[in-house]
Structure 1
Amino acid sequence: MSKVEKTTAGVQKTVHAEQKQFSSKDFHQTFSRPVYIKPSHVIHKNVEKAGVHDQFSTERKHPVFFVDLPSKNVSMTIGGLLPGQLTNRHRHTYETVLYVVEGKGWTEVENERVEWEAGDAVYIPSWAWHRHQNLSDSEPAKYIACENAPQLQNLGVALREEEGRDL
């Protein structure tokens, strides 16, 4: 139950009584009650200076820098493709949006190739086979990848598959 009270300044505020514990039979009685929970930190300084994520970078065969923030729904990484590099084909249940910071290359999504360059954004749908290639033989390419992987991991439905390895 909630009740409305006036503060000494005359402003109305809602005061909530102790919250009821619900069970499955009460699903129709539940209402969203957003609560601010202070995160452990809200900034990750100098992401690339913290170093590449060794295990993931080795597996992907190109440098990847994880952004260490306490988001439960989205992740961000900084990825790089070495000159001429072609990644393995892979797929995952989470969506990805790449923002190309530097370089030129292409991304193949389900056998459809799209070329990109600095300033472009590329969408990779969930569970689509895809891979990326840097078109330059002398300059690296760099992108920022935003994904909803943490959300799906928290729900227990995040999957990732590398062609030839996980099949």
Structure 2
Amino acid sequence: MSTQPGNFSSRDFWRTRASLEAEIPDRLIHKGVARTDVAGADTFSKERKHPVFLVDLPSKTLSMTLGGLEPGQTTSRHRHNYETVLYVIEGRGVTTIEDREVEWEAGDAVYIPVWAWHQHRNLSDEATCLYIACENAPLLQNLGGIALREEAS
């Protein structure tokens, strides 16, 4: 019986450990995130209609992506059942969350609540926006594949 997360059932509750051991994976760094081709990144970007680079690290609870919006670009309107925090590296724009508009610029962090319809837009006609998105989708996937995302029609 494996003791890895996600491999327990209710009958294994007695196997709960009293202490932790660090499990250090082989891979601890993803060099050149925006310069490497991670499997599925092209499809991910096409579905979202803007460039997104996936950070390929073995985190089982958090994901991180590097996203960009070209001048004047707007993402599709979408929602998901995982939380997102965006940290804006460069540029300025606006995120519509349900019926509220939140303007942002480099150095700001934006919170996207669970299951709220939202859409991001670059307010500049000349400069690209660049942001980091941190999400807890892997946690939900590892709890039984319950991370959901829906695009507006």
TM over 0.5: yes
Query: 1:21-53 deviations in whole A, cap 9, x for unaligned?
Result: x98478478454322112121101111111472
Aligned with residue 93 of structure 2, among 95, 105, 120: 105
Q: RMSD of aligned C-alpha atoms?
A: 2.1
Answering whether residue 127 of structure 2 is matched by residue 139 of structure 1, we say yes
Query: Normalised by the size of structure 2, how large is the TM-score?
Result: 0.86
SS of 2:43's equivalent in the other structure is helix
**Which of 55, 58, 62 is the equivalent residue of 1:67?**
55
Aligned to 2:19: 33
Structure 1 residue runs of 4 or more that deviate by more than 2 Å after TM superposition: 22-33
Structure showing greater radius of gyration is 1
CA distance in 2, matches of 1:145, 1:24: 34
In structure 2, distance between residues paired with 1:70 and 1:29:
24
Q: CA, structure 1 residues 39+29, in 2 after alignment: closer, same or farther (shift >3 Å)?
A: closer
Find out whether 1:163 has 2:152 as its counterpart: yes
Does 1 or 2 have the higher relative contact order (CA < 8 Å, sep 6+)? 2
User: 1:110 deviation in Å?
Assistant: 1.0
Please, which runs of 5 or more residues in structure 2 have no aligned partner? 1-7
SS at match of 2:57: coil
**Percent sequence identity over aligned pairs:** 65
1:88–1:24 Cα change, 3 Å: closer
Q: How many residues align?
A: 144
Please tell me the residue identity of whatever aligns with 2:104: W
Gaps of 5+ in 1: 1-21
Per-residue CA deviations over 1:57-101 (Å, capped at 9, x if unaligned) read 111111000011000000100000010011111001110000000
CA distance 1:138–1:40, change in 2 (3 Å):
same
Distance in 1 between residues matched to 2:46 and 2:12, nearest whole Å: 48
